[in-house]
Amino acid sequence: MKTSTLHITNGDSTTNYLKKLNFQGDFITWREMLCEGKTSTDVGSEHFWKSRFDFLKQSYKVTKKQFIDLTLKEYRNLCNHKSQEEIVLWFEYDLFCQINMIAVISWLKRYRKGRKISLVCSGEVKGSNKLLGLAELTEKQLKEQYQNKTELTIDDIEYADYVWQLYCSDNPIKLQNVYQYQQNTTFKYLIDSLLVHLQRFPSIGNGLNNVENSILDITANSTLNSQDELIRELLQQENQYGFGDLQYKKQINDLKDYFSSFSPVKLNKTGIKVQQQLLNTYANMRNDFSFLGGAKKYNFLYDDTTQKLLKITSL
């Protein structure tokens, strides 16, 4: 007999945790990282998955077999679950999860119209002075989150879909209006994630974005003996992104020209100048194949003073 609840989770750790606690229902694990690489609004289409595979293959050496086994098969499994009365989304507060969340809601809006959709979104937890992910919650806390899950209204679903459309557009400046004027209380972590996203475009100051500057700042202000130690420090200090080891390794590799050594971890003379905002390295970093959502990363500059994006009119 088919169960009446479908759980769509943010990753295998959450899926395994829920199964361990004997949550009833069917489970789909959303294995994507849509906060990186080019995205398009047509979630689940052949064009969408081809674009995603091209990015993952080029940036993370993901093989076709890995992509099919881990991502596409699970997506096809999602497509086959059509009878559940309620769909429960399990996502977290960080950028990684929030972008995946709105993409999934956009897909549900199109293919599961009229279905009851509820959201469990971890972050703030009573008694904790830091935001917590789902796998960090105790059994009692997780069950409380589930009991207090939010049923999404039609307006909530429309809002999430609208933000996803803007995220996938070639002009991220439109997202500033959402960040400043069009907040939605149901998605309490989405607005902060949008600001974090906008700060991933290169800064006017030195041509590096917020993540890249954090890597140089931590290196300059810490005594670290290896790249692994640098990554551990990033995971601890920069949890608003939701990145893991793989993402930070790639980011560090993109900045390798600014390091003199990784054992110990040290910046070279150029890296020190860039870190101190004495040198703008935009021209060195720029390429036409780096996308954030639907926008080319180096077609825009972020002004930290005004917290606004500026479009570069001539390149």
The CATH number of the domain holding residue 124 is 3.40.1360.10
Which residue has 């959450």 as its token pair?
A: 14
The answer to whether residues 16 and 71 belong to one domain is yes
The answer to whether residues 237 and 94 belong to one domain is no
Domain count, the chain: 2
The 10s digit of each residue's pLDDT in 23-35 is 999 999 999 999 9
- Identify the band that residue 313 occupies on the pLDDT scale cut at 50, 70 and 90: confident
- Answer yes or no: are the C-beta atoms of 201 and 292 closer than 8 Å: yes
How far is Cα of residue 79 from the mean position of the Cα atoms in its chain? 23
**Does some domain include residue 300?**
no
Of 144, 162, 191, the one marking the end of a domain is 191
- Say what percent of the chain tops pLDDT 90: 91
What pairing do the DSSP bridges indicate for beta strands 86-91 and 116-121?
parallel
Average of per-residue pLDDT values in the chain: 95
The answer to whether residues 76 and 33 belong to one domain is yes
The answer to whether residues 157 and 18 belong to one domain is yes
pTM for this predicted structure: 0.96
Range 148-160 average pLDDT: 96
- Answer yes or no: are the C-beta atoms of 95 and 241 closer than 8 Å: yes
Please write down the HEC assignment for all residues of the chain. CCCCEEEEECCHHHHHHHHHCCCCCEEEECCCCCCCEECCCCCCCHHHHHHHHHHHHHHHCCCHHHHHHHHHHHHHHHHHCCCCCEEEEEECCCHHHHHHHHHHHHHHHHHCCCCEEEEEECCCCCCCCCCCCHHHCCHHHHHHHHHCCEECCHHHHHHHHHHHHHHCCCCCCHHHHHHHHCCCCCCCCHHHHHHHHHCCCCECCCCCCHHHHHHHHHHHHCCCCCHHHHHHHHHHHCCCCCCCHHHHHHHHHHCHHHEEEECCEEECHHHHHHHCCCCCCHHHHCCCCCEEECEEHHHEEEECCCCEEEECCCC
The 10s digit of each residue's pLDDT in 129-151 is 899 999 999 999 999 999 999 99
Say yes or no to pLDDT of 178 above 70: yes
Distance, CA of 137 to CA of 122 (rounded, Å): 9
The answer to whether residues 109 and 233 belong to one domain is no
The answer to whether residues 100 and 184 belong to one domain is yes
**Does some domain include residue 307?**
no
Distance, CA of 300 to CA of 314 (rounded, Å): 11
Residue 22: burial class (beta carbons within 10 Å; 0-12, 13-18, 19+): exposed
**Does some domain include residue 257?**
yes
The answer to whether residues 213 and 241 belong to one domain is yes
The answer to whether residues 145 and 275 belong to one domain is no
The answer to whether residues 31 and 99 belong to one domain is yes
- Say what percent of the chain tops pLDDT 70: 97
Tokens representing 65 are: 């077999």
The 10s digit of each residue's pLDDT in 94-116 is 999 999 999 999 999 999 999 99
- Answer yes or no: are the C-beta atoms of 103 and 164 closer than 8 Å: yes
Distance, CA of 94 to CA of 122 (rounded, Å): 10
- C-alpha gyration radius of the chain: 20
**Does some domain include residue 293?**
no
pLDDT at 176: 86
How far is Cα of residue 186 from the mean position of the Cα atoms in its chain? 18
The answer to whether residues 148 and 249 belong to one domain is no
**Does some domain include residue 110?**
yes
Instruction: Tell me which residue range forms the domain holding 10.
Output: 5-191
The 10s digit of each residue's pLDDT in 49-78 is 999 999 999 999 999 999 999 999 999 999
**Does some domain include residue 135?**
yes
Tokens representing 119 are: 């959201």
Say yes or no to pLDDT of 1 above 50: no
C-alpha neighbours within 13 Å on the C-beta side of residue 53 = 17
The answer to whether residues 182 and 131 belong to one domain is yes
The answer to whether residues 21 and 146 belong to one domain is yes
pLDDT at 88: 98
**Does some domain include residue 63?**
yes
- Answer yes or no: are the C-beta atoms of 16 and 37 closer than 8 Å: no
**Does some domain include residue 49?**
yes
